[in-house]
A and B are shown apart, each in its own frame.
Chain A
């Protein structure tokens, strides 16, 4: 069947830890929806014809490539013979269509093929999942498998874990149209599914960073992790409770009728652009996947942060969202900080998302706090500035309403 996907490449704002905005170029599913980083997870089933229409709302040419798919790139040269795009692009305000058959199952990527050293960093990348025919048919041997029957890829729960990096300085330069020198690339943030820890364990939302990296699992379920490195650097993801079985690499299963070459790993290094599918059955408890380059477990230099995901294994899930926090107060007792307190009215929350806005600007996430938090000190504030704060509670059933808003003006 024909899978038609329309994507709009457009600028947007993400929220970095501390409540800092940064310009991104993301992919939206409608001309008015928030652009997403990473782009939407594209899904197809073997036998489908995939047709992707890319609408360019940026000020420069943009394109998409689909590594691992049966689509021949069509490099574009300018009049002097210089390569200007790895494949056909859409000029600003125009559109381009790519189509390819979903010919084999796997975990793949897509990303910009035009000035990728800038555009991929700006956020034009995402996951492409191709499922085997019959994956959703209980009568099929391919039911709930990543690569079909007899590939060792059966699962109950699946999660995309997409790794990337974020260099704020690069985004500022690129967004203003200044000349960007890729040699200056020096990321300060290390992302899973577009968010660094602790924000990556907050629930999915409708923001520019909609994806969570909290993987809810019931005890006994087999978990399929689709690890993808969409960044520019190699990353090692370590399992706090492993090992897991590597059943595929770069969208190719490691088991065939003649050879079972699947193997166990407790940590796995993925080079830029590589993917791996891992299956395991974790025991009850919270198990982090963490960047084993431990110096990246920071946001700028604040620990803990960076590249982490959470496999959250329980005997049951909550069915109702938590009660909203109340009585939020914000006090500027000392220069350079705001003390926040609130009352937690929930008994079953997993955590809290604290947001603030500067003046009349949009609310941005300051941080995500884990279970039981009733206070936070915001040290990333400007002097003589009025901030409005609000907080919500969340659990696996959803989010609460927001608390009251608390307004504070910082000291000189």
Chain B
């Protein structure tokens, strides 16, 4: 259950910049730098999702447990201050000996810096390091800030929207998909203290929420992915409004699409696509998720209402033996083309299908990116599961504040 402040609260979040390791489905272990919160033990990828309310005065403490200067930038938040003994000072570029050493106020190793801003606008935002950003952000020092619109009550689904009443952004479930790339050779260079050479950049892993497929489809907080706590399996029931937030945290642009469906883009970079009464939201099949940018979308699956008795699929269903399923010994197919029904599965194949739900892919259409070091399938890919009406609990598609937060730990 996520924790939320009441309106105009003053949440304090304590992040630490630390190192750690993530694992990939092909068995690799990759050294990262990342942020963790008070409950984590090592860097997590992406950093803890920070959820605040519109109007909150947000205080973020950053403690540096790395061996070089580090900082936090909040693109899209205006009026960011650093709290000092002499009061609040606006953050800005830092020069030393005539050299730009940080785009914003930083903290040296073992120190703590305190940033503060008012979350004035609802929406989806990035946070990331502002120091040596050609290295520190690709190393993993990034995360997401979600600002809830005024009036949002996590306990009252009637108030759930991305941008407030009358914005046509109401949702029943919501999902966060942070995309990025990893060049493990550059990460290894940092681990070994060797020169970091961006000119050699060649990503081999493409991540959603810090995971490569098929790990993307595992649940949140899967115990065997201790530093990649966020899953990205999208689950919904027919007709539900699903808010999907795409965030480009890496350095490259990624064309994401859900197979066979469109999403309606309702906001960019935390700003609603609406001018007065003019609705600028628009449907896309493929959304090019550019680096440093966020895309909020409302997705709805209504299907065509097929039913074996009242509305049968008007074409012969291929014979089971003509269906190429289960080459690897398992399938997510139910065995039936009808939602909520199960059918025959070839002998020797295990169906992971729970209750006759549909699955279709959501992935980067730059298809070399749906590999893990060249091996298909993998990378920037996940699934959307459409479940029969009444089969998903209310806990599905609820954004959690961070890796292991509970309702009291960060109560402000």
Contacts and interface: CB of A to CB of B under 8 A. Distances in A.
A269 B268 CA distance: 12
Interface string A351-388: 11000000000000000011111111000000000000
Interface string B87-117: 0001011010111100110000000000000
A304 B95 contact: no
B75 interface: yes
A293 B252 CA distance: 6
A298 B268 contact: no
Contact of B75 (A239, A283, A371): A239
A260 interface: yes
A262 interface: yes
Contacts of B132: 303
Contacts of B270: 243, 266
A267 interface: yes
Interface stretch (A106-114, A138-146, A221-229, A284-292): A284-292
20 contacts: A197-B100, A198-B100, A236-B292, A240-B103, A241-B78, A242-B269, A261-B278, A263-B271, A265-B268, A265-B293, A266-B76, A267-B75, A267-B290, A285-B90, A295-B198, A369-B97, A370-B98, A372-B98, A373-B97, A374-B98
Name the residue in A266, A298, A304 with the highest tally of chain B Cβ atoms < 10 Å from its Cβ.
Answer: A266
Contacts of B78: 241, 283
Residues of B in contact with A, size category: 35 or more
B386 interface: no
Interface in B248-307: 251-253, 268-271, 273, 275-276, 278, 280, 288, 290-293
Contact of B291 (A198, A242, A267, A298): A267
B291 A295 contact: no
Interface string A264-304: 11111100000000000001011010101111111011011
A115 interface: no
A315 to B, nearest CB: 14
A133 interface: no
Contacts of A262: 275
B151 interface: no
Contact of B293 (A236, A241, A300, A303): A236
B98 A369 contact: yes
A13 interface: no
A280 to B, nearest CB: 11
A295 B185 CA distance: 14
Interface string B223-258: 000000000000000000000000000011100000
A267 B98 CA distance: 27
A283 B92 CA distance: 12
Given A243-B76, A293-B252, A265 B99 contact: no
Interface of A: 186, 188, 197-198, 234, 236, 238-243, 259-269, 283, 285-286, 288, 290, 292-298, 300-301, 303-304, 351-352, 369-376
B311 interface: no
Contacts of B251: 292-295
A264 B269 contact: yes
A370 B95 CA distance: 7
B133 interface: yes
B118 to A, nearest CB: 14
A292 to B, nearest CB: 4
Nearest to A295: B198
Contacts of B196: 301
A242 B75 contact: yes
A188 B98 contact: no
B308 interface: no
A260 B198 CA distance: 41
A182 B199 CA distance: 18
B288 to A, nearest CB: 7
Contacts of B73: 240
A375 B97 contact: yes
B76 A269 contact: no
Given A292-B291, A303-B198, 19 more contacts: A198-B99, A234-B253, A236-B253, A238-B75, A238-B291, A238-B292, A240-B103, A241-B78, A259-B278, A262-B275, A264-B269, A265-B271, A266-B75, A293-B251, A294-B133, A303-B132, A351-B98, A371-B95, A371-B98
A269 B134 contact: no
B195 interface: yes
B291 A373 contact: no
Contact of A288 (B93, B99, B276): B93
B137 A304 contact: no
Contact of A243 (B134, B271, B278): B271
Contacts of A298: 134, 198-199
Interface string B124-140: 00000000111101100
A293 B271 contact: no
A192 B234 CA distance: 41
